[in-house]
Chain A
Amino acid sequence: MERALNSPVPLSKRFWPVFRTIAIVYVILLLGQQAGLEPGRIVREMTDNPVIIVQQLIVGLANAAIITIVALGYTMVYGIVESINFAHSSVFMLTTFVALLTMSWLVNAETKAPLWVAIVAFIPAMAAGGLINGLVERYAYRSLRKNAKIVGLIAGLGMDFVLQNIGLQIGAFGKLPNAYPNVEGIKFLKILGNQNASPKSFPAVNEFFSGPGIPVNVLEFIDPHATLRITPADLLVIITAVVLVFALNWFVKNTRSGKAMRAVAQNPAAASMMGIDVDRIINLTYVIGGALAGAAAVMFGVYNGTTSSSIGATTGLNSFTAAVLGGVGNIQGAALGAVFIGLLSSLSDQFISSRWTNAWVFMTLVLVMLIKPTGILGTEGGEKA
């Protein structure tokens, strides 16, 4: 005791944390410049053309909208069964194919599509997503829930591979119309192209808006010489995401099933004693998560214009990072995390280096886990779905 009073913390020890932080930042700057982290250039480019920042913020928000909806699927499932649904990213990928084929079928393999086609495509995509995720839960996960956690994770991973492979092989059906060029019913499969793994283009919904009287840039209504650009696709994606987040929030807070979900998330045993069918509620959570992935798939298709069997990994990583960043199990948190990740990736694409964007998102994930593993809005074992 006396010793502690007499000898104050030595100077070197007091400055150690500061020194350490400076050293870490210096090393990041030293190595990060290879991945485009050159603060001088970034500051100069930003000040040279501030409009680009705002433009990239809009792009980032649109990306965030898609990430949010996928992240909701992760976060809801995690909130209720405390385990990652590894198959989620592949369910999302498969539903982009459902959306692609539906839209192609509706416009009969044309390259342009009116807006109602995109809106109608939500129905089959969401239904397919819910169905696939529900089936995966029922037949792959349910019986494993009482086992060790790693067992469920590995089974989820296995399902992920199975679904990914299905996505890859759907691409093979693009060769069928070549065999029967005169059969009208299969003409829409042409959109899949001749290569299984190559990107497939959606019918362009955007071009519909460029018709007479409807400008591509929404801002031209207000100012014909606007330098900023907000496309109808931007608006569609953002509005859909906001509507879905509010709808889901309402569902979880106010409906009977939503209340049951919260009860199961808090304490499955107690919920079961209160007469809640826990299996059914967990399945419902997966179905809703899958349906949301389907909605995100249509948004992704309309916004990005292409899909392929390998998009699941990147979107999955982004969305999961968003879910963890916002606090896993938290709906608003997922949206908040998604906005951060969306802005980070769009700004990184523009100012840092588009080749390294995924690496920066990954860095963010590791940093969040290092600094605040519970996420921004999460509390230790606290609020869930």
Chain B
Amino acid sequence: MKQKLLNNTEAIAIGFMAVLALVTGGWNTIVCAVIAGLLIGLSANQNRDGIIRAGVLGAIASIITAIMGYIFNSWVSTLPGVDNQAPDHLTAYPLILAVVIGTITSLVVAWIHSIHEEARRKQAFLIFMVVCAVIFPFFDQCPTLAWNGPISIANPTVGCTTSKALLWVNAVIVTMIFALQALGLNIVAGYAGLLDLGYVAFFAIGAYTMGFLNSDHLVAQDTFLKTQFGFWLVVWGSAAAAAFFGLLLGAPTLPLRGDYLAIVTLGFGEIIPIAAKNLAEVRIFEPISLFINQLFSKADAQSLDRMQNAEAFLKNTLCLVGCDPTRPFDFTAGTKGISPISPPVFGNILGIPKIYAFVNGDYIPWYFLALVLLAGSAFFIFRLRDSRVGRAWVSMREDELAANAMGIDIVHTKLLAFIIGAMFSGFAGAFYASYVSFIEPGSFAFDISVTVLAMVILGGTGNITGVILGAFITRVVDLVVLERLKQLINGITEKVFFSGIDNPALVQFVQSIADATAYKVMLFGLILVVMMKVRPQGLIPAETAAQKRKA
């Protein structure tokens, strides 16, 4: 059999990483080379030739990436409007390092891949991934450390002086939050085969629970609960709240046909931001006394402060929540948003002194917290999949009729998947709220549902590794590539095409048509359509029961 020069995975890996290096450049070239090397190593054959081939290919890929990085450093970064990360005196080092580290990565991964015993191979992979994940944030800080000058007693404040240099670590933390969501949606869509289009609603519920119970917002309210409950307690509350709403929504609609669920969840996703916007002034009266009172008096319960006979109205009506005539109960703070939401704290509870408190903007501790949460969730879902419930999900997805005949209660099993999925989304929402420290209705728009669905579909429905990979690709495209591409195109249009033309309105028009970030939704839509047509099982497909039996 004639072997092709490159298989699809390798070609895509090299091409994608080369583009990424072209638009980010500088030290990011190393990251791109490492990822390219990683993917090439993964696709290598399980024999000695495979390692050598992977080494050569990895070297080639790293050199291509480095060349792209060089183009960025020497040309792209000079275009107007492009963020330049590479300081002039350091342009050569990252490129050389990229070639070396990229090649080594592909060799190491190919070597791990060549281990024949499956258990040991998996272990080695795990160790490798953990090492990479732990090194990564420190490596990400390299550029800032380097160009602040050498560490000395006179210059001890070495660290991130600009947020620009932390292009990756912030993006990776947000990506991990999204990956957490995608893992949850994977249970709903991948295991149980349900289409949940309002997934962001549960994310919002989790975030608002965190915002409400773990910030000064509740302290400022007129209630007896004048306290912040702390991240570690509220995060479970957020998951529980999201799960409760999942039950409320899923119980009536899950027994119906699948596409009705899609529409109902879509509607729910639209309603939750409306509710978040409008629940800033809450007043609740006892309905019967309210009914009698309103029949005869001209009182709008929601605008008591603008009413003349508010005192008399309040006296006759049994008020339950928000009874102060001048100040109704503020539940979500409306469009203002809740801020600041407290970050997690270790200790400082039950008499234990405060050990460590997270600080917003100090990324590295957050990175490790997110990593631990993501790894824990992935482990939990791995175990869940192999449990009785998990096997029920998989068998239900493959043949609902047969599963039913084997005694699986379809509706209950689906409902359980829906609730657990919602719970994960709420969990992610709680972490997100604490991480960004500010939430408002606008941050829970429909496009989050789209992004998360695209992650699951792209990576591989029903496969945890695939979903995490999908989350990383999608998010990196969203946060880094599109933004950089926009800068690049704008820079080129300004410098090359319109350098001699004095027509600012025309330039503005062309730039808004060629704005890459404006095509984000279209890109994700195309991902969905193309994946469905070409590879509906995703990049890394799930093992079916039949394959498992064979193995």
Enumerate chain A interface residues (CB-CB to B < 8 A): 26, 29-31, 33-36, 38-41, 43-44, 83-84, 86, 140, 143-144, 147-155, 157-162, 164-166, 168-169, 172-173, 175-176, 178-180, 196, 313-314, 317, 320, 324, 355-356, 358-359, 362, 365-366, 369-370, 373
Contacts and interface: CB of A to CB of B under 8 A. Distances in A.
Contact of A157 (B260, B274, B528): B528
Which of A33, A84, A161 neighbours the largest number of chain B CB atoms within 10 Å of its CB? Answer: A161
B179 interface: no
Given A40-B292, A162-B525, A196 B299 contact: no
B278 A172 contact: no
B263 interface: yes
B284 A40 contact: no
A161 B450 contact: yes
B477 to A, nearest CB: 15
A160 B509 contact: no
A62 B274 CA distance: 25
14 contacts: A30-B286, A39-B291, A140-B533, A154-B195, A154-B453, A157-B525, A161-B521, A161-B524, A161-B528, A162-B521, A164-B525, A356-B274, A365-B264, A366-B253
Nearest to B515: A172
A150 B195 contact: yes
Contact of B301 (A38, A153, A179, A320): A38
Which of B301, B457, B518, B532 neighbours the largest number of chain A CB atoms within 10 Å of its CB? Answer: B532
B521 A150 contact: no
Interface string B261-279: 0111011101100110111
B506 interface: yes
B150 interface: no
B492 interface: no
B492 to A, nearest CB: 18
Contact of B295 (A44, A140, A356): A44
B271 A320 contact: no
Q: Which 8 A-B pairs have the closest CB atoms?
A: A40-B294, A161-B525, A158-B528, A165-B522, A179-B506, A158-B529, A29-B287, A178-B505
Contacts of B530: 158
Nearest to B328: A34
Interface of B: 189, 193, 195, 197, 249, 252-253, 256, 258-260, 262-264, 266-268, 270-271, 274-275, 277-279, 282-287, 290-296, 298-302, 320, 446, 450, 453, 457, 503, 505-506, 508-509, 512-513, 518-522, 524-530, 532-533, 536
A358 B287 contact: no
Contact of A175 (B260, B509, B525): B509
Given A38-B291, A355-B277, 5 more contacts: A39-B291, A41-B299, A157-B197, A165-B520, A166-B522
Contact of B533 (A30, A86, A155, A366): A155
Contacts of A373: 256, 260
B294 A38 contact: yes
Contacts of A180: 506
B267 A365 contact: yes
Contact of B503 (A162, A179, A356): A179
B467 to A, nearest CB: 15
B264 A369 contact: yes
A160 B278 CA distance: 28
B218 to A, nearest CB: 18
Contacts of B526: 158, 162
Contacts of A169: 513, 518-519
A154 B524 CA distance: 11
A33 B290 contact: yes
A313 B522 CA distance: 16
B284 A317 contact: no
Nearest to B507: A179
Contacts of A358: 270-271, 274
Contacts of A324: 260, 263
Contacts of B268: 362
Contacts of A166: 522
Contacts of B533: 140, 143-144, 155
Which of A143, A172, A180, A370 neighbours the largest number of chain B CB atoms within 10 Å of its CB? Answer: A172
Contact of A313 (B287, B446, B503, B512): B446
Given A41-B299, A158-B529, A172-B512, A165 B264 contact: no
A362 B271 CA distance: 8
Contacts of B259: 83-84, 149, 153
A359 B268 CA distance: 9
A346 B193 CA distance: 37
Contact of A30 (B258, B284, B521): B284
Contact of B282 (A34, A159, A369): A34
A229 to B, nearest CB: 25
Contact of A140 (B457, B505, B527, B529): B529
A158 B446 contact: no
A158 B267 contact: no
Given A179-B505, A317-B266, A362-B267, A33 B301 contact: yes
Contacts of B298: 44
Nearest to A317: B267
A40 B297 CA distance: 9
Contacts of B286: 30
A314 B273 CA distance: 14
B264 A355 contact: no
A200 to B, nearest CB: 15
A76 B390 CA distance: 38
A158 B521 contact: no
Nearest to A155: B532
Given A161-B522, A369-B260, A30 B503 contact: no
B454 to A, nearest CB: 8
B294 A320 contact: no
A150 B531 CA distance: 13
Contact of A172 (B256, B271, B295, B509): B509
A34 B532 CA distance: 42
A160 B536 CA distance: 18
B382 to A, nearest CB: 23
Contacts of B282: 34
Contacts of A38: 290-291, 294, 300-301
Contacts of B519: 165, 169
B286 to A, nearest CB: 8
A70 to B, nearest CB: 14
B263 A84 contact: yes
Nearest to B255: A373
Contact of A359 (B260, B274, B291, B508): B274
B453 to A, nearest CB: 7
Given A33-B290, A160-B525, A84 B279 contact: no
B513 A26 contact: no
Nearest to A162: B525
B446 A40 contact: no
Nearest to A149: B258
Nearest to B259: A84
Contacts of B505: 175, 178-179
B425 to A, nearest CB: 18
A356 B262 CA distance: 21
Contacts of B521: 161-162, 164-165, 168
Nearest to B320: A30
B508 A175 contact: yes
A26 B525 contact: no
A151 B532 contact: yes
Contacts of B518: 165, 168-169, 172, 196
A153 B194 CA distance: 11
Contact of B457 (A44, A152, A154, A160): A154
Contact of A366 (B252, B278, B509): B252
Contacts of B508: 175, 178-179
Contacts of A159: 525, 529
Contact of B536 (A36, A147, A173, A196): A147
Contacts of B302: 34, 36
A310 to B, nearest CB: 9
Contacts of B264: 365-366, 369
